[in-house]
Each structure stands twice: as structure tokens, then as C-alpha cells.
């Protein structure tokens, strides 16, 4: 007998034993999938009432502090953002990456705060405002 000469039936007949889907035949029509959600009411200006320009929900995500630090870095300046509440490490990393790209500088997430190289407080504040945070300049 050749490898390709004999075929095994996959219709769930006696050769394969019990058909686990046999009981579904008597249920009639199954739903097509999740129901469509109702459309969200829009503002008179044409914008969506509950989402920003990027399609994310507008919500107050809390106050974050933006500081300019130089200590322990050989005189180099770092912009540090701290005070995040309810935000995970993965989202902080994603936000840090967006800040690095906008500032044209390096950065990292260290000890629960985002650090961006250089004095980039204005650019960072703008990005945080767009992300739904309330940035506050702290320190000197």
C-alpha cells in the first residue's frame, strides 16, 4: 500500500469512535459571533465624545511628577517622571519608548519611574497630557 493511497475518513464515523460534535447538530443555528456594540454618541463638532484623536478613551489617569535630576550622573541631566498609579511595567516601557522617540534621546524605566536623557520636560509633559495624565513640574 502506498503512503498516499489510503485516506482516513474525518466525518466522525465508526472508524474514529465517538464524534464530540454530534450533539451540536440538534441545536439549530448557532450565533454568528459577538454582537455588535451600539455606536457611541458623538459631539456636535463631529468628534467622538469618549475618545481622543488616537482613538483611546479620554480619562484622568492621575497626577505624575516631572523632575530634572543631575545627581549621581556625572553632571548629566535626566528628566524623570514618577508617581504613576495603576500603570504596569509594560505600559511604562511603551510610554518611555514613545518619549525617547519624540525627544530624540535615550531613556529607561528604573525603580518605577521613567528616565529620559537630557532636559526634555516640556516634550515629556505634552506626551503625558496626550496620554491622559496630569503632569506637574516638581523640583528645580
Per-residue pLDDT of the chain (140 residues; tens, 9 = 90+): 556 667 766 665 555 566 777 766 666 666 666 666 555 554 444 444 434 455 555 578 889 999 999 888 888 999 999 999 888 899 999 999 999 999 999 999 999 899 999 999 999 999 999 999 999 998 76
Q: Please report the pLDDT score of residue 61 as a whole number.
A: 83
- Radius of gyration, CA atoms only, the chain: 28
Q: Please report the pLDDT score of residue 52 as a whole number.
A: 47
| C-alpha grid cell, residue 82 | 514618577
Q: Is the dihedral of CA 136, 63, 95, 49 positive or negative?
A: negative
Q: Please report the pLDDT score of residue 3 as a whole number.
A: 60
Quickly tell me which residue has 458623538 as its cell. Answer: 42
CATH 3.30.780.10 correct for 63-137: yes
Q: Please report the pLDDT score of residue 5 as a whole number.
A: 64
Domains of the chain, residue spans: 63-137
Q: Please report the pLDDT score of residue 14 as a whole number.
A: 58
Residues written for the chain: 140
Amino acid at each position: 500500500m502506498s503512503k498516499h493511497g489510503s485516506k482516513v475518513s474525518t466525518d466522525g464515523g465508526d472508524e474514529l469512535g465517538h464524534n464530540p460534535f454530534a450533539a451540536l447538530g440538534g441545536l439549530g443555528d448557532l450565533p454568528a459571533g459577538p454582537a455588535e456594540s451600539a455606536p457611541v454618541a458623538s459631539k456636535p463638532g463631529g468628534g467622538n465624545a469618549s475618545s481622543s484623536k488616537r482613538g483611546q478613551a479620554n480619562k484622568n489617569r492621575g497626577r505624575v511628577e516631572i523632575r530634572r535630576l543631575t545627581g549621581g550622573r556625572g553632571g548629566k541631566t535626566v528628566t524623570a517622571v514618577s508617581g504613576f498609579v495603576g500603570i504596569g511595567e509594560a505600559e511604562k516601557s511603551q510610554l518611555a519608548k514613545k518619549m525617547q522617540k519624540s525627544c530624540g534621546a535615550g531613556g529607561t524605566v528604573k525603580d518605577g519611574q521613567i528616565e529620559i536623557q537630557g532636559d526634555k520636560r516640556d516634550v515629556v509633559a505634552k506626551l503625558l497630557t496626550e496620554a491622559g495624565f496630569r503632569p506637574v513640574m516638581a523640583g528645580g
